[in-house]
A = this chain, B = another copy of it.
Protein backbone atom coordinates (compact mmCIF):
# COMPACT_ATOMS: atom_id res chain seq x y z
CA UNK A 1 0.00 0.00 0.00
CA UNK A 2 2.73 2.51 -0.82
CA UNK A 3 1.31 5.72 -2.26
CA UNK A 4 2.05 6.29 -5.93
CA UNK A 5 4.84 8.87 -6.05
CA UNK A 6 7.46 10.05 -8.44
CA UNK A 7 10.92 11.45 -8.12
CA UNK A 8 9.38 14.91 -8.33
CA UNK A 9 6.96 14.55 -5.40
CA UNK A 10 8.36 16.64 -2.54
CA UNK A 11 9.59 14.43 0.28
CA UNK A 12 7.32 16.20 2.80
CA UNK A 13 4.29 15.22 0.72
CA UNK A 14 5.50 11.63 0.45
CA UNK A 15 6.06 11.49 4.22
CA UNK A 16 2.61 12.89 4.98
CA UNK A 17 0.97 10.45 2.55
CA UNK A 18 2.84 7.52 4.11
CA UNK A 19 1.83 8.71 7.58
CA UNK A 20 -1.89 8.58 6.67
CA UNK A 21 -1.79 5.30 4.74
CA UNK A 22 -2.05 2.76 7.60
CA UNK A 23 -4.82 4.76 9.29
CA UNK A 24 -6.98 4.49 6.19
CA UNK A 25 -6.90 0.73 6.64
CA UNK A 26 -7.02 0.56 10.45
CA UNK A 27 -10.12 2.70 10.76
CA UNK A 28 -12.08 0.56 8.30
CA UNK A 29 -11.15 -2.57 10.23
CA UNK A 30 -12.13 -0.85 13.49
CA UNK A 31 -15.62 -0.26 12.09
CA UNK A 32 -16.40 -4.00 12.43
CA UNK A 33 -18.12 -4.32 9.08
CA UNK A 34 -19.40 -7.48 7.41
CA UNK A 35 -16.43 -9.18 5.77
CA UNK A 36 -17.69 -8.56 2.22
CA UNK A 37 -18.28 -4.86 2.89
CA UNK A 38 -14.98 -4.49 4.72
CA UNK A 39 -13.13 -6.06 1.78
CA UNK A 40 -14.88 -3.71 -0.63
CA UNK A 41 -14.13 -0.64 1.52
CA UNK A 42 -10.48 -1.67 1.89
CA UNK A 43 -10.23 -2.19 -1.86
CA UNK A 44 -11.74 1.24 -2.45
CA UNK A 45 -9.20 3.04 -0.25
CA UNK A 46 -6.18 0.93 -1.20
CA UNK A 47 -5.70 2.01 -4.78
CA UNK A 48 -2.57 4.01 -4.07
CA UNK A 49 -2.60 7.42 -5.66
CA UNK A 50 -0.75 10.47 -4.47
CA UNK A 51 -2.96 11.03 -1.41
CA UNK A 52 -2.86 14.74 -2.17
CA UNK A 53 -5.90 15.58 -0.05
CA UNK A 54 -4.97 13.93 3.26
CA UNK A 55 -1.37 15.09 2.82
CA UNK A 56 -2.68 18.63 2.47
CA UNK A 57 -4.72 18.24 5.65
CA UNK A 58 -1.62 17.24 7.63
CA UNK A 59 0.62 19.85 6.02
CA UNK A 60 -1.88 22.67 6.53
CA UNK A 61 -2.24 21.69 10.18
CA UNK A 62 1.52 21.78 10.52
CA UNK A 63 1.71 25.08 8.67
CA UNK A 64 -0.40 26.80 11.34
CA UNK A 65 1.60 25.28 14.19
CA UNK A 66 -0.23 21.97 14.76
CA UNK A 67 1.01 18.40 14.56
CA UNK A 68 0.21 15.71 12.01
CA UNK A 69 -1.40 13.59 14.72
CA UNK A 70 -3.91 16.31 15.51
CA UNK A 71 -5.09 16.29 11.90
CA UNK A 72 -5.13 12.51 11.35
CA UNK A 73 -8.89 11.95 11.79
CA UNK A 74 -9.66 14.82 9.42
CA UNK A 75 -7.12 13.56 6.87
CA UNK A 76 -8.64 10.08 6.86
CA UNK A 77 -12.13 11.53 6.58
CA UNK A 78 -11.19 13.61 3.55
CA UNK A 79 -9.62 10.64 1.79
CA UNK A 80 -12.66 8.43 2.49
CA UNK A 81 -14.84 11.04 0.80
CA UNK A 82 -12.48 11.17 -2.16
CA UNK A 83 -12.47 7.37 -2.45
CA UNK A 84 -16.27 7.19 -2.20
CA UNK A 85 -16.54 9.69 -5.04
CA UNK A 86 -14.16 7.69 -7.24
CA UNK A 87 -16.11 4.46 -6.68
CA UNK A 88 -19.43 6.04 -7.60
CA UNK A 89 -17.99 8.06 -10.50
CA UNK A 90 -16.58 4.88 -12.03
CA UNK A 91 -20.01 3.17 -12.12
CA UNK A 92 -21.36 2.10 -15.53
CA UNK A 93 -24.15 4.68 -15.54
CA UNK A 94 -21.79 7.55 -14.68
CA UNK A 95 -18.23 7.47 -16.10
CA UNK A 96 -18.23 3.72 -16.87
CA UNK A 97 -14.56 3.10 -16.04
CA UNK A 98 -13.19 -0.42 -15.73
CA UNK A 99 -9.73 0.62 -14.59
CA UNK A 100 -8.50 3.01 -11.92
CA UNK A 101 -4.77 3.37 -11.31
CA UNK A 102 -4.19 0.19 -13.28
CA UNK A 103 -6.54 -1.92 -11.12
CA UNK A 104 -10.08 -3.08 -11.80
CA UNK A 105 -12.59 -0.56 -10.46
CA UNK A 106 -14.65 -1.74 -7.50
CA UNK A 107 -17.82 -2.62 -9.43
CA UNK A 108 -15.69 -4.76 -11.77
CA UNK A 109 -13.80 -6.32 -8.85
CA UNK A 110 -17.05 -7.06 -6.95
CA UNK A 111 -20.38 -5.94 -8.46
CA UNK A 112 -22.40 -2.78 -8.90
CA UNK A 113 -24.53 -3.24 -5.79
CA UNK A 114 -21.46 -3.58 -3.61
CA UNK A 115 -19.77 -0.60 -5.25
CA UNK A 116 -22.80 1.58 -4.56
CA UNK A 117 -23.09 0.39 -0.97
CA UNK A 118 -19.35 0.62 -0.24
CA UNK A 119 -19.47 4.21 -1.47
CA UNK A 120 -22.54 4.83 0.68
CA UNK A 121 -20.57 3.45 3.62
CA UNK A 122 -17.42 5.52 3.18
CA UNK A 123 -19.32 8.77 3.35
CA UNK A 124 -20.82 8.38 6.86
CA UNK A 125 -17.67 6.53 7.96
CA UNK A 126 -15.77 9.70 7.06
CA UNK A 127 -18.15 11.78 9.16
CA UNK A 128 -17.78 9.34 12.05
CA UNK A 129 -14.02 9.87 12.15
CA UNK A 130 -14.46 13.55 12.90
CA UNK A 131 -17.39 13.31 15.31
CA UNK A 132 -16.55 10.39 17.61
CA UNK A 133 -15.67 12.52 20.61
CA UNK A 134 -11.88 12.26 20.34
CA UNK A 135 -11.55 15.90 19.32
CA UNK A 136 -12.85 19.01 21.01
CA UNK A 137 -16.63 19.36 20.33
CA UNK A 138 -16.39 22.79 18.68
CA UNK A 139 -13.67 21.48 16.38
CA UNK A 140 -15.71 18.37 15.55
CA UNK A 141 -18.70 20.51 14.62
CA UNK A 142 -16.53 22.75 12.43
CA UNK A 143 -14.95 19.75 10.71
CA UNK A 144 -18.34 18.13 10.06
CA UNK A 145 -19.61 21.38 8.63
CA UNK A 146 -16.57 21.88 6.39
CA UNK A 147 -16.54 18.31 5.11
CA UNK A 148 -20.27 18.00 4.50
CA UNK A 149 -20.30 21.34 2.66
CA UNK A 150 -17.36 20.29 0.50
CA UNK A 151 -19.06 16.97 -0.26
CA UNK A 152 -22.30 18.65 -1.31
CA UNK A 153 -20.27 20.87 -3.64
CA UNK A 154 -18.36 17.88 -5.01
CA UNK A 155 -21.63 16.13 -5.90
CA UNK A 156 -22.90 19.35 -7.47
CA UNK A 157 -19.74 19.46 -9.61
CA UNK A 158 -20.16 15.85 -10.63
CA UNK A 159 -23.73 16.60 -11.74
CA UNK A 160 -22.54 19.61 -13.78
CA UNK A 161 -19.84 17.49 -15.36
CA UNK A 162 -21.94 14.40 -16.09
CA UNK A 163 -25.53 15.55 -16.41
CA UNK A 164 -25.33 19.28 -17.04
CA UNK A 165 -27.38 21.84 -15.19
CA UNK A 166 -24.95 24.79 -15.24
CA UNK A 167 -26.64 28.19 -14.96
CA UNK A 168 -27.28 29.44 -18.49
CA UNK A 169 -25.76 32.88 -18.01
CA UNK A 170 -22.23 31.44 -17.63
CA UNK A 171 -19.89 31.54 -20.63
CA UNK A 172 -17.69 28.53 -21.48
CA UNK A 173 -14.83 29.50 -19.20
CA UNK A 174 -17.08 30.43 -16.28
CA UNK A 175 -18.96 27.16 -16.69
CA UNK A 176 -15.77 25.18 -16.79
CA UNK A 177 -14.41 26.97 -13.72
CA UNK A 178 -17.66 26.25 -11.90
CA UNK A 179 -17.41 22.54 -12.73
CA UNK A 180 -13.80 22.34 -11.59
CA UNK A 181 -14.23 24.44 -8.46
CA UNK A 182 -17.12 22.26 -7.33
CA UNK A 183 -16.06 18.83 -8.53
CA UNK A 184 -12.39 18.94 -7.55
CA UNK A 185 -11.64 22.25 -5.89
CA UNK A 186 -14.11 22.07 -3.02
CA UNK A 187 -12.74 18.91 -1.44
CA UNK A 188 -9.13 20.05 -1.85
CA UNK A 189 -10.06 23.37 -0.29
CA UNK A 190 -11.92 21.51 2.46
CA UNK A 191 -8.88 19.29 3.09
CA UNK A 192 -6.73 22.39 3.62
CA UNK A 193 -9.27 24.16 5.81
CA UNK A 194 -9.83 21.09 7.98
CA UNK A 195 -6.08 20.86 8.56
CA UNK A 196 -5.94 24.49 9.59
CA UNK A 197 -8.91 24.02 11.94
CA UNK A 198 -7.22 21.00 13.54
CA UNK A 199 -4.11 23.11 14.08
CA UNK A 200 -6.20 25.73 15.86
CA UNK A 201 -5.37 28.39 13.29
CA UNK A 202 -5.73 32.10 13.99
CA UNK A 203 -8.10 34.07 11.76
CA UNK A 204 -5.17 35.33 9.66
CA UNK A 205 -3.78 31.84 9.25
CA UNK A 206 -7.21 30.50 8.33
CA UNK A 207 -7.60 33.21 5.73
CA UNK A 208 -4.22 32.34 4.23
CA UNK A 209 -5.04 28.62 4.08
CA UNK A 210 -8.46 29.44 2.65
CA UNK A 211 -6.94 31.33 -0.28
CA UNK A 212 -4.21 28.70 -0.72
CA UNK A 213 -6.85 25.92 -0.77
CA UNK A 214 -9.00 27.68 -3.36
CA UNK A 215 -5.98 28.30 -5.62
CA UNK A 216 -4.57 24.78 -5.29
CA UNK A 217 -7.99 23.22 -5.80
CA UNK A 218 -8.61 24.90 -9.14
CA UNK A 219 -4.98 24.59 -10.22
CA UNK A 220 -5.07 20.83 -9.58
CA UNK A 221 -7.76 20.34 -12.19
CA UNK A 222 -6.26 22.65 -14.82
CA UNK A 223 -2.98 20.75 -14.49
CA UNK A 224 -4.93 17.49 -14.80
CA UNK A 225 -6.54 18.75 -18.00
CA UNK A 226 -3.09 19.52 -19.44
CA UNK A 227 -1.74 16.13 -18.35
CA UNK A 228 -4.69 14.41 -20.00
CA UNK A 229 -3.92 16.28 -23.23
CA UNK A 230 -0.18 15.82 -23.37
CA UNK A 231 1.31 12.96 -21.42
CA UNK A 232 1.67 9.41 -22.69
CA UNK A 233 -0.65 7.05 -20.80
CA UNK A 234 2.16 4.90 -19.41
CA UNK A 235 3.62 7.98 -17.72
CA UNK A 236 0.33 9.01 -16.07
CA UNK A 237 -0.82 5.53 -15.11
CA UNK A 238 -4.30 5.91 -16.53
CA UNK A 239 -5.89 6.40 -19.93
CA UNK A 240 -5.16 9.88 -21.34
CA UNK A 241 -6.80 11.82 -24.14
CA UNK A 242 -10.03 10.62 -22.57
CA UNK A 243 -11.47 14.09 -21.98
CA UNK A 244 -11.28 15.00 -25.65
CA UNK A 245 -12.67 11.62 -26.69
CA UNK A 246 -15.58 12.10 -24.30
CA UNK A 247 -16.21 15.58 -25.66
CA UNK A 248 -15.67 17.10 -22.22
CA UNK A 249 -14.79 20.76 -21.99
CA UNK A 250 -11.33 21.30 -20.54
CA UNK A 251 -9.14 24.30 -19.83
CA UNK A 252 -6.88 23.74 -22.84
CA UNK A 253 -10.02 23.08 -24.89
CA UNK A 254 -11.54 26.43 -23.93
CA UNK A 255 -8.47 28.63 -23.36
CA UNK A 256 -5.77 26.89 -25.36
CA UNK A 257 -2.59 25.46 -23.85
CA UNK A 258 -0.68 28.71 -23.33
CA UNK A 259 -3.50 30.54 -21.58
CA UNK A 260 -4.14 27.45 -19.43
CA UNK A 261 -0.51 27.53 -18.36
CA UNK A 262 -0.84 31.25 -17.63
CA UNK A 263 -3.91 30.52 -15.47
CA UNK A 264 -1.85 28.02 -13.49
CA UNK A 265 0.94 30.57 -13.03
CA UNK A 266 -1.55 33.14 -11.79
CA UNK A 267 -3.03 30.74 -9.23
CA UNK A 268 0.48 29.75 -8.13
CA UNK A 269 1.35 33.40 -7.51
CA UNK A 270 -1.89 34.01 -5.59
CA UNK A 271 -1.21 30.97 -3.43
CA UNK A 272 2.39 32.06 -2.86
CA UNK A 273 1.31 35.53 -1.75
CA UNK A 274 -1.32 34.13 0.60
CA UNK A 275 1.19 31.76 2.22
CA UNK A 276 3.51 34.64 3.12
CA UNK A 277 1.23 35.33 6.09
CA UNK A 278 2.32 32.00 7.57
CA UNK A 279 6.02 32.91 7.60
CA UNK A 280 8.50 30.10 8.09
CA UNK A 281 5.93 27.40 8.86
CA UNK A 282 4.42 27.94 5.41
CA UNK A 283 7.57 26.72 3.67
CA UNK A 284 6.34 23.18 2.98
CA UNK A 285 3.13 24.49 1.46
CA UNK A 286 5.23 26.77 -0.78
CA UNK A 287 7.09 23.67 -1.96
CA UNK A 288 3.74 21.94 -2.46
CA UNK A 289 2.50 24.90 -4.48
CA UNK A 290 5.46 24.81 -6.86
CA UNK A 291 5.20 21.04 -7.26
CA UNK A 292 1.46 21.11 -7.88
CA UNK A 293 1.85 23.72 -10.63
CA UNK A 294 4.46 21.74 -12.57
CA UNK A 295 3.55 18.10 -11.92
CA UNK A 296 3.27 15.93 -15.01
CA UNK A 297 1.29 12.99 -13.59
Contacts and interface: CB of A to CB of B under 8 A. Distances in A.
A124 B36 CA distance: 25
Contact of A121 (B31, B33, B152, B165): B152
A94 interface: yes
A166 B34 contact: yes
Interface stretch (A61-69, A136-144, A242-250): A136-144
Interface stretch (A12-20, A154-162, A257-265): A154-162
Nearest to A123: B123
A120 B119 CA distance: 9
B152 A131 contact: no
A128 interface: yes
The interface size bin for chain A is 35 or more
Interface in A138-188: 138, 140-142, 144-145, 147-149, 151-152, 155-156, 158-160, 162-167
Interface in A99-132: 111-114, 116-117, 119-121, 123-125, 127-128, 130-132
Contacts of A272: none
A279 interface: no
Given A133-B145, A141-B137, A144-B140, A163 B127 contact: no
Interface of A: 31, 33-37, 84-85, 88, 91, 93-94, 111-114, 116-117, 119-121, 123-125, 127-128, 130-133, 137-138, 140-142, 144-145, 147-149, 151-152, 155-156, 158-160, 162-167
18 contacts: A33-B159, A34-B159, A34-B164, A34-B167, A37-B156, A88-B116, A93-B116, A94-B117, A114-B159, A117-B159, A124-B149, A127-B148, A130-B144, A133-B145, A137-B142, A138-B141, A140-B140, A141-B141
